[in-house]
Amino acid sequence: MLIGIPRETAPGETRVAATPETVKKYIAAKHTVLVERDAGLAARYTNEAYEQAGAQLVDTAQALGAELVLKVRAPSQGELPAMKSGAALVGMLDPFNAEGLAALAQAGLTSFALEAAPRTTRAQSLDVLSSQANLAGYKAVLLAANHYGRLLPMMMTAAGTLKAARVVVLGTGVAGLQAIATARRLGAVVEASDVRPAAKEQVESLGAKFIDVPFETDEEREIAQGVGGYARPMPAAWMARQAVLVSERCKQADIVISTALIPGRPAPTLISEETVQGMKPGSVIVDLAVERGGNCPLSEKDKIVEKHGVTLVGLSNLPALLATDASALYARNVLDFLKLITDADGKLAIRQDDDIVAACLVTADGKVTRSA
Ligand code: NAD
């Protein structure tokens, strides 16, 4: 098959959907790979490395005009006209964006949104949400440490002892757990909150304290279990009790990393303006949920701002700040997904009875096949 790897054009996007390592594997599987010239440069993968792996360097139109196009982000309105009707597209296509999916369907593309893969053991090797969120959680702590004018570990010096920083992590999915692990490695004292009861054990196994918000009704307990591992919106009474505890913990904290999300919905508000006002001067909030409106109403997308003496980091694409590793993991996720949609001759073969393929298929035959 003719596989195209265009250069990503979304602002701030530095990742690339195939690396020389995965290109080599596509070539070994008898595919022809067209890499847009400079597609990997922002992630430090050179044109020469792609050529040595067996790819042909081409222009934008040739890469977008392939039979199968591998992308990081959904193609823009400017890119879609260069894509061939009937071609296949694999990427992080934002499956909850109905308008975006309609545009892909209208362009006649058979598209697969990798974020829609189930969170099952079999899907782990192609789980882009996990591979990218893991890096985001790590980078969030490093950014916080950079913007925090003090140390994270306790330090005993001849000039006196400095206390360890207190870090609060809100939402302990993949990003939150990595943030806890990273903050712990840097010597911080960490506390964390999540709605899912299963999170408690994971938080404690990383050496952090779980901020327990007890359930008062069977309904609360049932909703908190979530669906497919994902959280559901909690009843207002539970959210109000959580808000009191979270506000208290944030006011004691030096750094807050918030990652709480509910699929397909705006991010829950967990850090109110009143809480920010009560935080210590010089403390830092990194709001990883900013793309979905943020866990703190004061954070601003793709900006670092200071409000009430608190630095709010609202950068929405932290994996792009680790472009080499983020691309390496993403490219391997894509490679593993392609094994599910190609046959032994390397032709596209969509097995609708495969739960991963069926979940990721978002447009086919000019139609959106999934309700956003
Ligand atoms: P996510 O990005 O959708 O959400 C982040 C976290 O926010 C979740 O832990 C969620 O429970 C939490 N959250 C939502 N509302 C909250 C609130 N009001 N207060 C505090 N926290 C709140 O999550 P994710 O990282 O994509 O992980 C989703 C699930 O998938 C998790 O259960 C995770 O363990 C599971 N998972 C499974 C596999 C696998 O088995 N292959 C792989 C990765 C993740």
In a domain, 124, yes or no: no
CATH number for position 158: 3.40.50.720
Return the H-helix or E-strand segment holding 333: helix 323-341
With a cut of 80, say whether residue 370 has pLDDT above it.
Answer: no
CA angle 75, 78, 82 (to 5 degrees): 80
Sheet with 32-36, side-by-side order of all strands: 56-58, 32-36, 2-5, 68-73, 88-92, 110-113, 361-364, 367-368
Quick one: 23 and 172 in the same domain?
Answer: no
Quick one: 99 and 137 in the same domain?
Answer: no
pLDDT digit string (tens) for 164-197? Answer: 999 999 999 999 999 999 999 999 999 999 999 8
Quick one: 339 and 310 in the same domain?
Answer: no
Quick one: 10 and 142 in the same domain?
Answer: no
Quick one: 171 and 103 in the same domain?
Answer: no
Nearest ligand 1 atom to the CA of 198 is 32
- pLDDT given at position 372: 57
The catalytic position among 37, 106, 119, 247 is 119
- pLDDT given at position 371: 65
State what percent of residues in the chain have pLDDT above 70: 99
Q: Which residues span the domain enclosing 327?
A: 2-116+323-364
Quick one: 28 and 110 in the same domain?
Answer: yes
Quick one: 191 and 331 in the same domain?
Answer: no
In a domain, 95, yes or no: yes
Q: How far is the CA of 13 from the centre of ligand 1 (A)?
A: 24
With a cut of 90, say whether residue 226 has pLDDT above it.
Answer: no
Return the H-helix or E-strand segment holding 155: strand 155-157
Mean pLDDT of all residues in the chain?
A: 96
In a domain, 369, yes or no: no
Average pLDDT over residues 71-82: 97
Q: Note the pTM of the prediction, 2 decimals.
A: 0.95
pLDDT digit string (tens) for 19-65? Answer: 999 999 999 999 999 999 999 999 999 999 999 999 999 999 999 99
261 close to ligand 1 (CB < 6 Angstrom): yes
Active site residue 230: yes
Probe ligand 1: pick from 122, 169, 174, 296, max atoms within 8 Å of CB?
174
- Considering its fold, how many domains does the chain have in total? 2
Residue that finishes a domain, picked among 316, 337, 353: 316
CA distance 324 to 305: 27
- pLDDT given at position 306: 98
How does residue 156 score in pLDDT terms, banded at 50, 70 and 90? Answer: very high
